[in-house]
Amino acid sequence: MRETFVHDHWSNRFAFIMAAVGSAVGLGNIWRFPYITGENGGGAFILIYVVTTIAIGLPILIAELMIGRMGGQSPVNTVNSIVDRFRLSAIWKLIGWGSVIGAFVVLSYYSVIGGWAFRYVLAGFMGGFSGMTPDAAGSFFGEFTGSAAQLTFWHTLFMAVNITIVLGGLKFGIERAVTVMMPLLFLLLVAMVIYGATTAGFSEGFAFLFDFDFSKVTANTFLTAIGQGFFSLSVALAAMMTYGAYLDRDVSIPRSAGIIAFADTLVALLAGLAIFPLVFTFALEPSGGPGLIFVTLPIAFGKMAAGGPLLATLFFLLLSVAAITSAISLLEPAVSWAEESWGFRRSVTAMIVGGAAWFVGLASVFSFNDWSGFFPLAPLGLLENATIFDALDYSITNILMPTIGLLMSLFAGWALSRDAVAEALDLSPFGLGFRAWRFLMRYLAPLGVLSIFIANVVAG
Ligand code: PHE
């Protein structure tokens, strides 16, 4: 075996928190969360989301950061080394490999959607949405996504920015990017919410988010909430294990994880408070699905008497910043593994890995246009109308991530001894916090993920 590769560590706790919050806050909060909430009936979904995030997502986030720090390597070699050290079953190695490959695949299509955000910054800036009718907004989006050349261009640009940041390494690339971008993101978001609060639709938007309608809740709502929570917290996709590996011993993981989860949930709710008032003010559909941000919102921007282009530019800039700081953490796991395995310079490694993800992403690009009639899983009788992009997104969020989450909770809750994890978290094994965490890891997290998984598969 090669000598253990020594990774850089975060400069300080602030840099780590910014990077981790940057990873968590992404398209998942600003694009996916609002439309999933809209599709699932609003308030009741949010309540379920918050509860499952605290009870299941947060404990797993703590476990991932902890495991990352225990190994100090890429998730693959971190998990392998822990398995070897404690002589555990090789089955756990799936966590490392599965999550790193999952992150790589997600990056391939995340970059495509990130490219849409970039494109819309430009459109907003050029005043491109003014006076847009619903039909015009639909065809603008349709023509854009219908063009393989356009999507490829913006996907390429997004990935290039991402690679440029990651190849600079932890301190000169990632830390510098996130410490500028995260405060900017927060300012932009607050500005959007303040604007939303001045619109006529604010109370309706608020009620939509916070009035509970339980009639729409099914087993599927829980799976969706857990899946969304995992995605939004960046767990089960190697990112947090990788960031944990760069963390010094003197930083409290439970406290950091609490901050990350709090900030992530706050941003999702604020994004809802920024978006839904506009949707209602201009009498648009809250249940617009994936098009909510890219079709519905431009109509609202286009109808604003003044400031529409400015607000549109700021909003899509916010979305772009959020997407980039997450994409960084989707690229880093495979890069850190490749650094350990190939022995190339980091810049070369980042370009090879990022370039490969870019190439795989072309399949998602084409699934919106030239290959939009190709349903890869249909021959198996599954997901009959799912394009490559849909099939990838569905299998990752509904199958791979719950599976990794389940394995992760069993690994941290059962495979590792109580004393080993207490030491790794720097907590007393008899303290209340530690016992609560371990209980959730051992029982609630695995049972929750498993039962909802089964209920969903059985219910079809
Ligand atoms: N959390 C990110 C988002 O909300 C996505 C992500 C998932 C990033 C997993 C890294 C790992 O968009």
pLDDT digit string (tens) for 152-184? 999 999 999 999 999 999 999 999 999 999 999
User: What is the pLDDT of the chain when averaged over all its residues?
Assistant: 93
Confidence of residue 289 (pLDDT cuts 50, 70, 90): confident
| Ligand 1 mutation pick, 58, 100, 174, 231, max ligand atoms within 8 A of CB | 231
- Tell me if 28 CB under 6 Å of ligand 1: yes
Tokens linked to 194: 């303040």
Among 105, 326, 393, 400, which residue has the most ligand 1 atoms within 8 Å of its CB, making it the best to mutate? 326
In a 3-state reduction of DSSP, which class is residue 381? coil
pLDDT of 460 reads 53
Q: What is the pLDDT of residue 227?
A: 85
* Ligand 1 centroid from CA 23, angstroms: 6
Give me the helices (H) in 147-218, please. Answer: 148-167, 169, 176-197, 202-210
Residue 2's pLDDT band, with cuts at 50, 70 and 90, is: low
Mean pLDDT of 394-416: 93
> CB of 237 closer than 6 A to ligand 1?
yes
Q: What is the predicted pLDDT for the residue at 151?
A: 98
Torsion sign (Cα): 43, 408, 79, 67:
positive
pLDDT at 211: 86
| pLDDT of residue 190 exceeding 60 | yes
Closest-CA residue to 324 (of 77, 103, 157, 97): 157
Contact (Cβ atoms closer than 8 angstroms) between residue 312 and residue 301: yes
What would the mean pLDDT of 347-351 be, rounded to a whole number? 97
Separation CA 347–CA 335 (nearest Å): 10
**DSSP of 73-135, one letter per residue?**
S-HHHHHHHHHHHTT--GGGHHHHHHHHHHHHHHHHHHHHHHHHHHHHHHHHHTTTTTT--HH
222: pLDDT strictly greater than 90 = no
pLDDT band at 212 (very low <50, low <70, confident <90, very high): confident
**282 CA → ligand 1 middle, Å:** 30
Of the candidates 329, 361, 340, 24, the one whose C-alpha atom is nearest the C-alpha of residue 166 is: 329
What mean pLDDT comes out for the span 194-218? Answer: 89
Are the C-beta atoms of residues 448 and 52 closer than 8 Å to each other? yes
pLDDT of the residue at 69: 98
- The identity of residue 213, as a single letter, is D
Backbone angles phi, psi at 306, to 5 degrees: -135, 160
> What is the structure's pLDDT at 307?
84
Asked whether 397 lines ligand 1 (CB < 6 A), one says: no
pLDDT given at position 288: 75
412: phi then psi, degrees, rounded to nearest 5: -75, -30
* pLDDT over 90 (residue 97): yes
**Higher-confidence position of 131 and 460:** 131
Buried b (16+ CB within 10 A) or exposed e, 269-280: bbbbbbbbbbbb
Position 195 scores a pLDDT of 92
Residue 379, burial from CB neighbour count under 10 angstroms (0-12, 13-18, 19+): exposed
Task: Specify the amino acid at residue 219.
Answer: A
- Non-local (6+) Cβ contacts of 203 within 8 A are none
Residue from 4, 350, 39 nearest 174 by CA: 350
Cβ–ligand 1 contact at 80 (below 6 Å):
no
Segment 105-116 mean pLDDT: 98
Q: Report the C-alpha gap between 275 and 269 in whole angstroms.
A: 10
Q: Does the CB atom of residue 26 touch ligand 1 within 6 A?
A: yes
- Kindly give the number of the ligand 1 atom that is closest to the alpha carbon of 240: 11
Token code pair at residue 335: 């890069």
Instruction: State the Rg of the chain over Cα.
Output: 21
How much distance in Å is there from the Cα of 135 to the middle of ligand 1? 32
Phi, psi for residue 360 in degrees, rounded to 5: -60, -35
pLDDT of residue 217: 86
Res 135 pLDDT > 60: yes
DSSP letter assigned to residue 431: S
List of residues 6+ apart from 387 with CB closer than 8 A? 367, 368, 371, 372, 374, 375, 376
Distance 106 CA to ligand 1 centre (A): 9
DSSP code, position 3: P
Residue 376: other Cβ atoms inside 10 A: 17
Count Cβ atoms within 10 A of the Cβ of residue 250 and give its class: 0-12 exposed, 13-18 middle, 19 or more buried.
exposed
Is the pLDDT at 76 greater than 90? The verdict is yes
- What pLDDT does 56 receive? 94
User: Which burial class, exposed, middle or buried, applies to 426 when counting CB atoms under 10 A from its CB (0-12, 13-18, 19+)?
Assistant: middle
Residue 284: exposure state from Cβ atoms within 10 A (0-12, 13-18, ≥19): buried
pLDDT of 143 above 90: yes
Whether residue 231 has its Cβ less than 6 Å from ligand 1: yes
* Side chain identity at residue 281, one-letter code: T
Q: 344, 279, 283, 239: which is closest to 20 by C-alpha? A: 239
Per-residue pLDDT at 384: 85
Distance CA 85, CA 426 (A): 19
What percent of the chain is modeled with pLDDT above 90?
81
Tell me the best of 21, 23, 166 to mutate to test the pocket of ligand 1, counting ligand atoms within 8 Å of each CB and taking the most: 23
- Decide whether any atom of ligand 1 lies within 6 Å of the 388 Cβ: no
> pLDDT tens digit string along 290-305?
788 999 999 999 988 7
What spatial distance separates the first Cα and last Cα of the chain, rounded to whole Å?
46
pLDDT surpassing 80 at residue 452:
no
The answer on pLDDT for 87 being more than 70 is yes
Q: Look up residue 33 and give its two tokens.
A: 């969360």
Q: Which residue has the tokens 């008497």?
A: 305
User: What ligand 1 atom has the least distance to the C-alpha of 264?
Assistant: 4
Give per-residue pLDDT as tens, 224-244.
898 899 999 999 999 999 999
Would you say the CB of residue 58 lies under 6 angstroms from ligand 1?
Answer: no
Amino acid letter at 157? L
Which residues, in sequence order, are CB contacts of 153 under 8 Å at separation 6+?
115
Atom of ligand 1 nearest to the CA of 29: 4
* Mean local confidence (pLDDT), 432-447: 96
Structure tokens at 96: 């490392």
User: Does the C-beta of 162 come closer than 6 Å to ligand 1?
Assistant: no
Find the DSSP H helices in 343-400. 346-367, 388-394
Cβ neighbours of 146 (radius 10 Å):
14
Q: Atom of ligand 1 at shortest distance to CA of 26?
A: 12
Question: How far apart are the CA of 198 and the centre of ligand 1, in A?
Answer: 31
pLDDT for 85: 95
For range 118-140, the mean pLDDT: 93
Mean pLDDT calculated for residue range 140-144 = 96
